[in-house]
Amino acid sequence: MEEMLAIFIASTLRLAMPLMLAASGELVSERAGVLNLSLEGMMLTAAFFGALGSWASGNPYLGVACAILASVVVSAVQAWLSVNLRANQLVVGIGFNILALGATTLLYRIIFGGLSREEIPGLPKLAVKGLSDLPFAGTAFFQQSVIVYVGLALIVLIWAMLNHTSFGLSVRAVGDEPRSADKAGIPVAATRWKAVLITGFMAGFAGAFISIADIHTFTENMTNGAGYLALAAVIFGGWNIGRTVAACLLFGAATALQFQLPAMGINVPTAFLLMLPYLLALLAVAGVVGRLEPPTSLTLPFQRGK
């Protein structure tokens, strides 16, 4: 029983990790007023180019770098479209997701074609010295892929940046009151650009986690809605980083349960567990778990003098 619980915690962490990375990145951008429905596409692009980079170079760390680079490029185009061209952020996001699914599938077939499902060089699991052998906590927390520890550090960094730096203050200002922020001398466009690039960086990390650290290969549409789940986590977390991370863990736990419960002889429909995150997010946006305050200018482009 205890061992099962330890495995459950470990798989919750593993499943929640890409969500936490992507959601905390997306949070920055949404606090700045830009909604990236393209999060799913960024993650998928990153997962593909991460796998490609790792496979071509034989070095998983180079793979991670490729993943992040690819995702940042996507986010730069997203930023240009939503900030400079003031395009409808939802439409652009949907377009990117269609494009990412098509392009990664196409490239995968062309490049990997016959060698499909080939294993790529993955990241090692890092057993934390002295801690990984602990009877319970060892299995639960300290035998994770190296990227998990880096990712957790990045999330703490984002928390600190949002809440304790002047850049974080600017981000929140341009997301809530871009007009006042502009008058106060905060560069709205530049701040939003940076925020979207941070989203791209984190989504790249999340995608790399999925293909390089977790699955060790690329499969078509391998993110399979994780980006949307991360968006739901931001909503369920009420645009607050602590609660967003907690939401990701909850969603990860719900997904992990579908493997655990049958093993324990408990019969809950898998579909219900998979549905749970979306139902919770729906309840959250309906205000059931307390009034949510989305950033006031979320999805609204800013133009000086209008």
Partner 1 sequence: MTALAFSLPDRRRLLGMAVPFIAVIGSMIVGLLLIAASGKDVPDAIEAFMDGAFGSAFAIGASINRAVALSLVGLGFILAFRANLTNVGGEGQIAVGGIAATALGLWPPIANLPLGLAVIVPLLGGTLAGAFWGGIAGFMKVRFGTNEVISTLLLGFVALLLVYWCVQSTALLRQPQTSSATLPESLPIADAVKLPGLTGNSESPLHIGLVICLLLAIATAIVLQRSTFGLRLRAIGLNELAVRRAGMPGGILLVVALAIAGAFGGLAGAIMLQGEQYYLKTGFSSGYGFDGLVVGLLSRGSTVGVLAGALFFGFLRSGGISMEIMAQVPAALTLVIQGLIVIAVAGSVILVEKLQGGR
Counting contacts by CB under 8 A, is residue 281 touching partner 1? yes
225 binds partner 1 (CB under 8 A): yes
Stretch that binds partner 1, among 102-110, 166-174, 182-190, 207-215 (CB under 8 A): 102-110
**Which one among 28, 42, 92, 226 touches partner 1, defined by CB under 8 A?**
92
In terms of CB distance, is 77 or 169 closer to partner 1? 77
Least Å distance between CB 221 and partner 1? 10
Q: Is 42 in the site for partner 1 (CB under 8 A)?
A: no
69 binds partner 1 (CB under 8 A): no
Total residue length of the chain: 306
| Helical ranges in the chain per DSSP H | 2-31, 39-57, 60-79, 89-111, 137-141, 146-164, 166-176, 178-183, 188-208, 226-236, 241-263, 270-285
Stretch that binds partner 1, among 13-21, 26-34, 119-127, 285-293 (CB under 8 A): 285-293
Q: Of 196, 206, 71, 226, which Cα lies nearest the Cα of 151?
A: 206
Q: Does 1 bind partner 1 (CB under 8 A)?
A: no
Which of the stretches 148-156, 191-199, 202-210, 280-288 binds partner 1 when contact is defined by CB under 8 A?
280-288
Burial class (CB in 10 A: 0-12, 13-18, 19+), 222: buried
CB atoms within 10 A of CB 240: 18
Indicate left, alpha or beta for 126 from its phi (over 0: left) and psi (-120 to 50: alpha): beta
Residues sharing a CB contact under 8 Å with residue 161, sequence separation 6 or more, in sequence order: 28, 167, 168
Count of residues that bind partner 1 according to CB under 8 A: 44
DSSP symbol at 156: H
Kindly report the backbone phi and psi dihedral angles of residue 128, in degrees, each rounded to the nearest multiple of 5, phi listed first.
-70, 125
Q: Which is nearer to partner 1, 136 or 272 (CB)?
A: 272
> Shortest gap between Cβ of 187 and partner 1 (angstroms)?
20
CA distances to 165, 228, 231, 269, 288 from 23, rounded to whole Å, are 20, 9, 6, 27, 21
- Judged by CB under 8 A, the residue of 270, 289, 296, 304 near partner 1 is 270
110-129 positions binding partner 1, by CB under 8 A: 110
The two tokens of residue 210 are: 């999925």
CA distances from residue 210 to 30, 50, 222, 224, 272 in whole angstroms, order as listed: 23, 9, 8, 11, 24
Is residue 305 involved in binding partner 1 (CB under 8 A)? no
Backbone angles phi, psi at 58, to 5 degrees: 75, 5
Closest approach, Cβ 33 to partner 1, in A, equals: 14
Binding residue (CB under 8 A) for partner 1 from 52, 67, 235, 254: 235
Q: Can you tell me which of 142, 228, 239, 251 binds partner 1, judged by CB under 8 A?
A: 228
Binder of partner 1 out of 157, 190, 268, 275 (CB under 8 A): 275
Q: Does 285 bind partner 1 (CB under 8 A)?
A: yes
Beta bridge partners of 143: 127
Binding site for partner 1 (CB under 8 A): 37, 77, 81, 85-88, 90-92, 94-103, 105-106, 109-110, 225, 228, 231-232, 235, 269-272, 274-275, 278-279, 281-282, 285-287, 294, 299
